[in-house]
Structure 1
Amino acid sequence: MSGKPTGSSENSEPPEIAHRAAVLGSPIEHSLSPILHEAGYAALGLEDWEYTRIECTGEQLPGLVGSIDDSYRGFSVTMPGKFAALNFATEVSDRARAIGSANTLVRTDDGWRADNTDCDGVAGALDELLGEGRMVEHCLVIGGGGTARPALWTLAQRGASRISVINRSDRRAELEPLATSHGASFELIGFEEDLQDLAAEVDVIVSTVPSRSLQGREPELAHAPVLDVIYDPWPTPLVAQAAANGYRTVGGHVMLAYQSFGQFEQFTGHAAPREAMREALERHIRR
């Protein structure tokens, strides 16, 4: 692993790894989280830290995390383990409990603490898309899965007065409270309805679904600024169409960066070197 020079000779043994973190999910080989965290370790000279990927389903998560050695200080959790992470934890942050899923597990003296930094990711991406702290009134979220939850919670926190969700199945019971608990109205819409008129009247669109789920729908939907949580391949057809229509767009790699900063700080106890982490991610994506 890389880090700042310590003045030792070229033939010196590499530093012993004392602290570890990892990203859990399935499939996991595509995850860019190691690039962000390893860049943070290098920038701060944390040579005894290592960050890896571990293939892990939701069913496997309790057994894996519960039996892992003490060198592991934290886990980033991607799908399909976010609900299992919340249920496994011995302590849960208020926002993870409200959102109903966790993307972060941090070792404590008594077990594991669950948090959800995906909302930090959504907030940071929205700041870059719309302007820092800008209020939004009517928002459109596409999808009703695990990433839609922090998106709804963050938009409501940001002051949205109306949140529309397009989803193929009726998940009103689990999604509506994320909006209405902060005073926003909520409506669930099917793909068979008039999507173009809806998209043309919203302040922002947050797409949380794979690009294939929207194939052929992009001309109907791309009529507002777009945050698309997908970053591979990039740009997505929805983003390309919105940009062609003259709207600003932001990708999932921006959300990924912002959600990683809080994880890094909870795992290591050090302030995240945000610029170095973001630059490493951008370099990787350009390549």
Structure 2
Amino acid sequence: MTTRTPADARRAAVLGSPIAHSLSPVLHRAAYRELGLGAWSYERFEVDEAALPSFVEGLDDSWAGLSLTMPLKRAVIPLLDEVTATAASVEAVNTVVFTADGRRVGDNTDIPGMVAALRERGVDKVESAAVLGAGATASSALAALSLICTGPVTAYVRSEARAQEMRGWGERLGVDVHTAGWESAAAALDAPLVIATTPAGAADALAGAVPGTPGTLFDVLYEPWPTALASAWQSRGGAVVGGLDLLVHQAVLQVEQMTGRVPAPLTAMRQAGEQALASR
């Protein structure tokens, strides 16, 4: 990697595979412009699990941090000097900050990003919740719910193996997790908060089951948007939090950690993300 020049130039990037779709460069570059960090750069690199160790070892002291997406959130952990309690709670790191003394510190901004996105829409506490899906994002959703949900969480999953995983995460995170089969997922929509963590199209069939007076839907997808479920939810007057909300809030925290500048420009970052999605 090249040495930084001028002296105040710093580098950051998002790594993953596939990575071409990532909006992270748009969000971080918008933050740098707003913060007057003209010498900072933010790129994207296609990096898989096999290539990650050599990539990280090849970074010089011009690097401020990394954003990580799938499949690297767990693969990076052995390469770090420290992992925050938040990241350790779900065994997933989406943020690496390089400290002044050369240490690599891993964090997870998805969890507080989810909480911040919900609070922005007025959701501070709920008595119960439902989670659609059981992947890595679902475990982060449980970690977020451990901070705002006072009662049980029901996870709707496609297999008993996934159900066991979600119950295991619940025990680890201190969340009372119940599980149900995907065939009964329409029942999830009656919960005061529904977090959909499924891939694009997976929850489309549920759109027709949205109740007449829905609560809050947090759909972690941002492309395509709105999803069929989010569109039906909004048409019935329910509050919807989208994947761009999550992406922006977690990126705000990344910018703050990497640059040391607080607060990061949430509005400018969101506008940049909206414009980028509109142009696709």
Decide: shared fold, TM above 0.5. yes
**How far off its partner does 1:204 sit?**
0.8
> Secondary structure at 1:157's aligned position in 2?
helix
**How far off its partner does 1:282 sit?**
2.7
Structure 2 CA distance for partners of 1:197 and 1:216, relative to 1, 3 Å: closer
Structure 2 CA distance for partners of 1:197 and 1:174, relative to 1, 3 Å: closer
Structure 2 CA distance for partners of 1:91 and 1:181, relative to 1, 3 Å: same
Q: After the TM superposition, which residues 60-71 of structure 1 pair with which residues of structure 2 at under 5 Å, given as runs?
A: 60-71=51-62
Structure 1 vs Structure 2 CA RMSD: 2.1
Amino acid at match of 2:240: T
Structure 2 CA distance for partners of 1:105 and 1:20, relative to 1, 3 Å: same
Q: Residue in 2 aligned with 1:50?
A: 41
Indicate which of 200, 222, 241 corresponds to 1:250: 241
Matched, 1:164 2:154: yes
Indicate which of 183, 187, 190 corresponds to 2:178: 187
Amino acid at match of 2:129: C
User: 1:251-271 deviations in whole A, cap 9, x for unaligned?
Assistant: 100100100111111111111
Q: Residue in 2 aligned with 1:34?
A: 25
> Secondary structure at 2:71's aligned position in 1?
coil
Structure 2 CA distance for partners of 1:17 and 1:86, relative to 1, 3 Å: same
> Secondary structure at 2:30's aligned position in 1?
helix
- Alpha-carbon distance in 2 for matches of 1:118, 1:128: 15
**How far off its partner does 1:218 sit?**
2.5
Q: After the TM superposition, which residues 274-285 of structure 1 pair with which residues of structure 2 at under 5 Å, given as runs?
A: 274-285=266-277
Point out where structure 1 has 5 or more consecutive residues left out of the alignment. Answer: 1-13
**How far off its partner does 1:221 sit?**
5.4
> Higher mean Cα deviation, 230-239 or 153-162?
153-162
Point out where structure 2 has 5 or more consecutive residues left out of the alignment. Answer: none
Matched, 1:209 2:198: yes
- Alpha-carbon distance in 2 for matches of 1:45, 1:63: 32
Structure 2 CA distance for partners of 1:167 and 1:197, relative to 1, 3 Å: closer
Matched, 1:136 2:126: yes
Indicate which of 50, 72, 96 corresponds to 1:105: 96
Structure 2 CA distance for partners of 1:260 and 1:277, relative to 1, 3 Å: same
**How far off its partner does 1:17 sit?**
7.5
The TM-score, its normalising length taken from structure 1, stands at: 0.86
> Secondary structure at 1:212's aligned position in 2?
coil
User: 1:159-211 deviations in whole A, cap 9, x for unaligned?
Assistant: 3311111121323454335434564311122112x3333422x1111111112
- Alpha-carbon distance in 2 for matches of 1:27, 1:198: 31
Verify the 8 A CA contact 1:167 1:191 in the aligned structure 2: yes
- Alpha-carbon distance in 1 for matches of 2:64, 2:73: 18
Between the two proteins, the alignment pairs up a number of residues equal to: 270
Q: After the TM superposition, which residues 69-84 of structure 1 pair with which residues of structure 2 at under 5 Å, given as runs?
A: 69-84=60-75
- Alpha-carbon distance in 2 for matches of 1:172, 1:120: 24
Matched, 1:152 2:176: no
Amino acid at match of 1:128: E
The TM-score, its normalising length taken from structure 2, stands at: 0.88
> Secondary structure at 1:119's aligned position in 2?
helix
Verify the 8 A CA contact 2:24 2:251 in the aligned structure 1: yes
Verify the 8 A CA contact 2:192 2:215 in the aligned structure 1: yes
Percent identity between matched residues is: 38
